Amino acid sequence: MGERFKDPSKNFVCSFFNCKASFSKSWKLEAHYCKHTGLRPFACDSCDKSFCTRYQLTRHNLSHSGKKPYQCLVDGCLEGFTSTTGLKNHVERVHQHKEKHYVCDYEGCLKEFRKNKLLKSHKCEHMNQLLFECLYEGCGKKYATSTKLQKHVKVHDGYPCAEEGCTFQGRTWTEYQAHRRAEHREVLQCDSCAKVFHQAWFLKKHKLFVHLGVRRVFKCTKEGCSKTYTTHFNLQNHILSFHEGNRSFICPHDGCGKGFAMEESLKRHAVVHDPQKKKMQNKAKRGLKKKPKSPVSNASKLSAELQNLSLNKSTPQKNQ
Residue 49 belongs to some domain of the structure: yes
Residue 301 belongs to some domain of the structure: no
> Which residues on adjacent β-strands are paired with residue 249?
260
Nearest-angstrom CA–CA distance, 262 and 259? 9
pLDDT digits (tens, 9 = 90+) for 164-209: 888 888 877 788 888 888 888 888 889 988 888 877 878 888 888 7
CA-to-CA separations, 77 to 72, 223, 237, in angstroms, rounded: 6, 17, 18
Nearest to 40 by CA among 52, 28, 48: 52
The pLDDT confidence band at residue 303, using thresholds 50, 70 and 90, is low
55 CB-side CA count, 13 A: 4
Name the least confident of 68-82, 155-169, 231-245, 272-286.
272-286
What is the tally of structural domains in the chain?
Answer: 1
**pLDDT confidence of residue 281:** 60
Q: What is the CATH number of the domain that holds 39?
A: 3.30.160.60
Residue 114 belongs to some domain of the structure: no
Look at the alpha carbons of 87, 93, 94, 98 in this order and tell me if their dihedral is positive or negative: positive
Other CB atoms closer than 10 Å to residue 150's CB: what's the count? Answer: 17
Residue 306 belongs to some domain of the structure: no
Q: Is the pLDDT confidence value at 316 over 70?
A: no
Residue 42 belongs to some domain of the structure: yes
Nearest-angstrom CA–CA distance, 40 and 53? 8
Residue 32 belongs to some domain of the structure: yes
User: Are the C-beta atoms of residues 239 and 220 closer than 8 Å to each other?
Assistant: yes
pLDDT digits (tens, 9 = 90+) for 89-129: 888 878 877 666 778 887 778 788 877 777 877 877 777 76
Pairing of strands 70-71, 50-51: unpaired
Residue 17 belongs to some domain of the structure: yes
The whole domain housing 25 covers 8-65
Q: Is the pLDDT confidence value at 85 over 70?
A: yes
Residue 22 belongs to some domain of the structure: yes
The pLDDT confidence band at residue 287, using thresholds 50, 70 and 90, is low
Strands annotated E in the chain:
12-13, 22-23, 42-43, 50-51, 70-71, 80-81, 102-103, 112-113, 132-133, 142-143, 159-160, 169-170, 188-189, 196-197, 218-219, 228-229, 249-250, 259-260
The pLDDT confidence band at residue 282, using thresholds 50, 70 and 90, is low
Residue 158 neighbours by CB under 8 Å, 6+ apart: 169, 170, 171
pLDDT digits (tens, 9 = 90+) for 18-35: 777 888 888 888 888 887
